[in-house]
Structure 1
Amino acid sequence: MIPVLLTRIKTSDGITLEGVVVPPKKKGKIALIWLHGLTSRFSSGQTLMKELSSSCTKNQIAYFKFNTRGHDIVSRGPKQKPIGGAFEKFEECVRDIDTVIRLAKKLGYKKIILAGSSTGANKALYYQYKKKNPAVKGIILAGAISDMSAWKTGDAKKMSRAIRIAKQTKNKDALLPQEYGIYSAARYLSLFEAGHAEDVFPYHNPKANWKELKSVRVAVAVIIGSKDEHRDRPIKNIMDAFRKNAVSTRQNFSKQNSGGQAKSFFGIIIKGANHGFQKKEKKLAHAILKWIKRAVV
């Protein structure tokens, strides 16, 4: 049985985040921080938590997983303010991630691997773009699918109507009609209209400048399931877009590693995996640890 520390931390703007810390028996310098996806929470994905935390601790890596303010569909923030996936302001994820990193550093972990799944991947990349935190030595973008492209796999006309309604709504904190899901107008636009801060995987736009990814100067792994149900094009094409735009990671890595025996960018496709990697958790954990040993340690 793996010992788990249930923990509460508070962000700089007063939001309490619950989560877990799984420390290795023999302490190392590295901590992996896992960011959950849209409307998820720290306790979700128990199988992956077990596989990944076990693999990490066997390799002297601590495992951290905390709620962000976007946990669940709706939750309660300070002064009864509604937050959660329906209401969160994407840009505020920086405060959440900063708080977890501060905890990891306080506990003695000097090297941080920031890993996110689905919307958590968007947050991981956006955080490092904004903060350029020197403690972050690697970024894992799991299920890195563009929401702007993903909605095309569903009812595109319905989504277009929802975007139009959201843009016309004066009170952007108001919920959209329920047929469009439980989202405020502002949250819906952040997720599904191109050009917002959340749009950090813009392979849907051939003219996009990918400023977030190009700014990153640490090792990056993009991990996508071959059967991701939200893809709107071949996974290989998505990976090629990431690889093409991971310019700064390549340049920085070549300066630090003149031998050139490893890569700063890895595109990893998990065969048979869906967006959440269900039933492929062991493969995902193995791929992550292999990448850490090659690109970060």
Structure 2
Amino acid sequence: MVMLTGRLVKTVTSDGFELQGFWIDMGGDTAVFHSHGTAGDFYTHKFIDVIGGRVSGMGVSFLTANNRGHDVYAYLRRYIDGRVRWVQVGGAFERFEDCIFDIEGWLDFLEGEGVRRVVLEGHSLCQKLLYYQSLRSDRRVAGQIYLSPGSDASYMYYSLGVERFREVNSMVRRMVEEGRGEELLPRELAIVCPMGALAYYGYMSEEGAGNLYPYHDPESPRWEALSKLKEPMLIVFGGADKLIKPSVDVAARMFRERGGGSRVEVRVVEGANHSFIGFEDELSEIIVEWLGRKFM
């Protein structure tokens, strides 16, 4: 068992949400910031502990932190006009575009801790990091690491079939337009957790803002967000990841082809699943080796 030494920390986003995380401060100007996936959190996956230990061991600070989409259902403190209100969010009800506030809030926290260079690290729902940086071009972001970057729209495309996928897109869009975004969708559409229409629309539909690397559509203009990034990127897949559709090989090839050249490195950990269970050491070795080459 990996035991990390650090402290629990909080930040408040510019739209008032209080978020929690765990901060390992190594005193330098560089940090890795880990962002969890759908309905996840900052502490459950073992690979977070292993990566945090290895990264801090090389003298780089490490932050693992919640966003408003943590857990399936979550009640968050929100500060509005000097008062505290409890607001239900979590993975079932988050609005994808609000990831801007969460990432910015944690980058502001890191800047307050003296950090000048941040490597964004995401698991599964890595579209949030890409969305943020494609809109903000934040100079504090020095690099990005995507672990098991899933295209949820592609997963639904191949799981439902083309016709049903389009039907669901239309249904969910209509629900959101009618103000029914918090209504839970049928079980067939809940691939990770119970899912409200607004959350589904954000990154599981064709039109969603988070459909940024559609593996089912190599010619989609959505790939332009990835190709326009300037900072170095490391993409790591588990070779046995069943959540990557149509296949890990296709996804890895598309990141290599659409990622903008040599600044993007793609690695595959053979035998590993979506959460790298049993392969945490191999994953962390890939990450620290890349960090050492790019930032040390």
> Could you tell me which amino acid in structure 2 is paired with residue 171 of structure 1?
G
C-alpha distance in 1 between matches for 2:19 and 2:105: 9
Aligned to 1:231: 244
C-alpha distance in 2 between matches for 1:232 and 1:177: 21
> Which consecutive unaligned segments of at least 5 residues does structure 1 have?
251-262
C-alpha distance in 2 between matches for 1:173 and 1:274: 32
Q: Secondary structure at the match of 1:48?
A: helix
Residue 164 of structure 1 and its aligned partner are, at CA, apart by: 4.3
Aligned to 2:179: 171
**After the TM superposition, which of the residue ranges 175-184 and 236-245 deviates more from structure 2?**
175-184
Is 2:294 the partner of 1:292?
no
Residue 234 of structure 1 and its aligned partner are, at CA, apart by: 3.6
> Which consecutive unaligned segments of at least 5 residues does structure 2 have?
79-84
Decide whether the 8 Å contact of 1:149 with 1:204 is kept in 2. Answer: yes
Residue 64 of structure 1 and its aligned partner are, at CA, apart by: 0.2
Residue 22 of structure 1 and its aligned partner are, at CA, apart by: 1.3
Aligned to 2:4: 2
Task: Encode CA deviations 1:156-181: one digit per residue, 9 max, x unaligned.
Answer: 47766644432332223231345343
- Provide the identity percentage: 24
C-alpha distance in 1 between matches for 2:259 and 2:156: 25
Aligned to 1:146: 151
Alignment of 1:1-297 (within 5 A): 1-24=3-26, 27-45=27-45, 47-77=46-76, 78=78, 79-119=85-125, 121-152=126-157, 154-156=159-161, 162-169=168-175, 170-179=178-187, 180-181=189-190, 182-209=194-221, 210-247=223-260, 250=261, 263-297=262-296
C-alpha distance in 1 between matches for 2:97 and 2:29: 29
How many equivalent pairs are there?
Answer: 279
Residue 153 of structure 1 and its aligned partner are, at CA, apart by: 5.1
Decide whether the 8 Å contact of 1:163 with 1:188 is kept in 2. Answer: no
Aligned-residue Cα RMSD (Å) equals: 1.9
Q: Secondary structure at the match of 1:81?
A: strand
C-alpha distance in 1 between matches for 2:140 and 2:174: 42
Decide whether the 8 Å contact of 1:166 with 1:176 is kept in 2. Answer: no
TM-score (norm 1): 0.87
C-alpha distance in 1 between matches for 2:185 and 2:52: 40
> Could you tell me which amino acid in structure 1 is paired with residue 226 of structure 2?
L
TM-score (norm 2): 0.88
C-alpha distance in 1 between matches for 2:92 and 2:19: 17
> Could you tell me which amino acid in structure 2 is paired with residue 17 of structure 1?
L
